[in-house]
Structure 1
């Protein structure tokens, strides 16, 4: 650009592409929750069963049973939860659609008020609301997003959430069992594996949050340690009582 040349108006600026992380409660939430739950569940289970004096074979058997049952339960729970949320959103969308059909003036006034709250002056808010309301689907989407905080066109997939939860729970639950599956009979080795997995899972999850990786890792390790410690004490007490 030569010196003194006029600056192009903002309208001629090129839009740049960018993306955001999944925050709609889809695969990411299910994957993080599944991995954490699998790690905590089986690390605590190994601690409790091992603390009770069970053999390596019994620990592996109970751990694998917990892995399979927990992964299936998590997948079914996630599928049902997301499916129910989507169905509830569909119900609210239809309710809003009926309101737009029965009371268009009231809904127009509501849309104007939404724009005014966001800093648009009254005259412009009225013009924009009238223009947007010419397309019923656009008006419907704006009302739903503003009132429910959810976009009806961006619903999470129940199947994706279920599969993510199943796979990550199974992976997390497998980690504390690795030493036993490799032939070790040392309880502390399994607990160390579980602790490393918990720290790593927490650190990885920090990538999607403003938290420092070490803080998220230590927090998850602490949660798992508390669960494993309590379960170990209970298992030890039961083992002594029934011996």
Structure 2
């Protein structure tokens, strides 16, 4: 995205001439951040909570490892499938609404033009200028469709998230998150403490990394992930302990 600002050095541009200042933004519609964050946290929390419940029920180490591997595989594939279907469904819904707008532009071009001019006026543009801008945009049907879709639906029809990107991001991040609390048991651990330490570190690190692409501080985001994930795992451990005691 490019903005204009007055030149700060008179030697670089004539007095009063605009100086071009370039800056870029992160991709906020690519469809990878939400499934990646959700996948990583869900993998950490759900698999650690699952392991906590099994350990709380006094299951042998072999059963804990098998449970953790099954939870990792089932969760990763389930998350990927769910993300793919949900994002694809969202894209289909957007496509349907865009087609509806395209038909309206073809059937009632003058009414749509007046509608666009009215929207510009509502944003503070003078009526005559708003009409001129709307007429100029309507000269190109595809440009008119894009502007109407953005103004009326609040979406960009040409910048929709990818179902495949969402599915792959979710799968990989869930698998990595779910593997962390399982790792100590694969290396021969018999208590929950090493898995707890790894899971809490992973939760905090996940939150801290997410803070780099958000407005939150790294420590706030990290602590938020840690507290929520730790609470879920703790409750599951207590539930597993109660159920295991009742069964035995």
TM-score range, shorter chain: over 0.9
2: distance between equivalents of 1:21 and 1:65? 36
After superposition, the Cα gap between the structure-2 partners of 1:85 and 1:61, relative to the gap in structure 1 and judged at 3 Å, is same
1:188-235 CA distance string (max 9 Å, x none):
111111111111111111112111111111111111111111111110
Report the equivalent of 1:166: 171
Work out whether residues 22 and 28 of structure 1, in 8 Å CA contact, stay in contact via their aligned partners in 2.
Answer: no
Q: Distance in 2 between matches of 1:106 and 1:28?
A: 39
1:14 maps to 20
Alignment partner of 1:77 out of 55, 78, 82: 82
Q: 2:44 aligns with which of 39, 48, 54?
A: 39
- 1:222 aligns with 227
The runs of 5 or more residues in structure 2 that have no matched partner are 1-9
Contact persistence 2:44–2:177 (CA under 8 A) = yes
What value does the CA root-mean-square deviation take over the aligned residues? 1.3
CA distance in 2, matches of 1:43, 1:203: 19
Shift >6 Å, 4+ stretches: none
Query: Larger deviation: 117-126 or 97-106?
Result: 117-126
Pick the structure with more strand per residue.
Answer: 2
Matches within 5 A, 1:48-197: 48-197=53-202
Count of residues in Structure 1 that have an aligned counterpart in Structure 2: 237
1:117 Cα offset (Å): 2.0
For residues 40 and 212 of structure 1, the distance between their equivalents in structure 2, rounded to whole angstroms, comes to 22
Deviation at 1:25, TM superposition (A): 6.0
Please state how far the C-alpha of 1:15 moved relative to its aligned partner: 5.3
Q: CA deviation at 1:164?
A: 0.7
State how far apart, in whole Å, the 2-side matches of 1:177 and 1:88 are.
39
SS at match of 1:155: coil
How far residue 24 of structure 1 moved from its aligned partner, in angstroms, is 2.1
Instruction: Rate the CA distance shift 1:234–1:25 in 2: closer, same or farther, 3 A.
Output: farther
